[in-house]
Amino acid sequence: MGVLSGTQLRHLADEGYLVVEDVFDPVRDLQPLIAEYDDVLDGIATALHAEGVIGSAYRDLSFYDRLIQVYAESGRNFIRHFDISLPQSGIRHDTPVHLGPAVFELLTHPRLLDAIEDVIGPEIYASPVQHIRMKLPKRAIAAQHRNDGLISDIPWHQDNGQILPEADDTVVLTVWIAVTDATPENGCLQVVPRSHRGDVVTHCPGINGLSIPEQLFAARQAVPLPMRAGSILLLHRRIIHASLPNVTEDQVRLSFDLRYQPIGQPTGRPAFPGFIARSAAHPESVVRDPAAWAQAWYDTRSRLADKESPNVERWQAGVGVCA
């Protein structure tokens, strides 16, 4: 039995996006994630305290308050210890990446895969283009780190524009998961409805990553998409979207953005490992062991360390509209 109604599927096709509420239970499904990440943060805070960088490990604080405090006091950026993918360059043997079992349970949650199947069919491949976003209040981020989209704002872009042209025709479905409430104040996403109907638009490299110049699309038509924790946002691969800034003093907007596609189609990140998440035709091929998923990333890190970074660039600064 499908998760999405015909009306919802038509909205996704016509508008390029769809909010689906209450896919996850915030306590049953999402608290294990926070517990797993709290252990990661404890290790970071303990090490920084031992170095004398911060005055306490702040074990008496909640996860989100502790995260803000450690970021603000240390001036460091340790988001890579939480992210679930490797960076696109500068990979070392010890490059941090988080590949815990609670994350794998999220990636393969049956209700999530049911919704994805309603859109792309039962042969589902989990793309390696996947990230955690911990959008912090601006006051907590040192100036030199404010262009990191994992903790700060994301400029206008299409997800197709972030990967190699080999995947332009791949039926990629982005799934954005709200782990905390996402509001206009703490930095929810905004989309330009129906902007997915055209081709991939030029993206210009800049200090905060790739972005689409606003003269190339109808930015004034953007709509914010507040979401409560446990909801998901489905995005067409060419819908133009961005995040709003976090203007709060004490809130973290935590989310995941994941991508899924039919098995056998290019991912646009050929150097990184995806996995088969569901298959009606070949159920024996499904990866069910979180340790196997994690090991594929560790093996990739070892293979790419100390080698030339994989080619992931498709846009050049100083050319055309980017000049």
The answer to whether the beta carbons of residues 177 and 102 sit under 8 Å apart is no
Percent of the chain with pLDDT strictly greater than 90: 91
Average pLDDT of the chain is 96
pLDDT category of residue 209 using cuts at 50, 70 and 90: confident
pLDDT category of residue 306 using cuts at 50, 70 and 90: confident
pLDDT category of residue 196 using cuts at 50, 70 and 90: very high
pLDDT category of residue 207 using cuts at 50, 70 and 90: confident
> For the stretch 129-148, what's the b/e string if a residue is b when 16 or more beta carbons lie within 10 angstroms of its beta carbon?
bbbbbbbbbeebbeeebeeb
pLDDT category of residue 112 using cuts at 50, 70 and 90: very high
User: What pLDDT does residue 1 have?
Assistant: 57
What Å distances lie between residue 114 and 32, 74, 109, 251, 289, CA to CA? 21, 42, 9, 31, 19
Cα–Cα distance, 308 to 270 (Å, whole number):
14
Q: Residue 283 contacts by C-beta under 8 Å, 6 or more apart in sequence?
A: none
Percent of the chain with pLDDT strictly greater than 70: 99
Longest CA–CA separation in the chain, Å: 57
User: What pLDDT does residue 169 have?
Assistant: 95
Region 207-227 average pLDDT: 94
Domains of the chain: 6-25+100-306 (2.60.120.620)
Residue 178 burial class via C-beta count within 10 angstroms: exposed 0-12, middle 13-18, buried 19 and up: buried
Region 176-191 average pLDDT: 98
What dihedral angle (degrees, nearest 10) is formed by the CA atoms of 89, 93, 97, 99? 130
Q: Render pLDDT for 125-138 as a digit per residue (tens, 0 to 9).
A: 999 999 999 999 99
User: What pLDDT does residue 282 have?
Assistant: 98
Bridge-based pairing state of the strands 124-126 and 223-224: unpaired
**Residue 199's CB: how many other CB atoms inside 10 A?**
9
Region 29-43 average pLDDT: 97
pLDDT category of residue 297 using cuts at 50, 70 and 90: very high
User: What pLDDT does residue 318 have?
Assistant: 76
pLDDT category of residue 311 using cuts at 50, 70 and 90: low
What is the value of pTM for the model shown?
0.96
DSSP label of 281: S
Region 101-113 average pLDDT: 98
Cα–Cα distance, 170 to 167 (Å, whole number):
5
Question: Can you give 132-172 as a three-state secondary structure string?
Answer: EEEECCHHHCCHHHCCCCCCCCCCCECHHHHCCHHHCCCCC
User: What pLDDT does residue 310 have?
Assistant: 66
pLDDT category of residue 234 using cuts at 50, 70 and 90: very high
The DSSP bridge partners found for residue 126 are 260, 275
Region 82-95 average pLDDT: 94
Cα–Cα distance, 297 to 98 (Å, whole number):
10
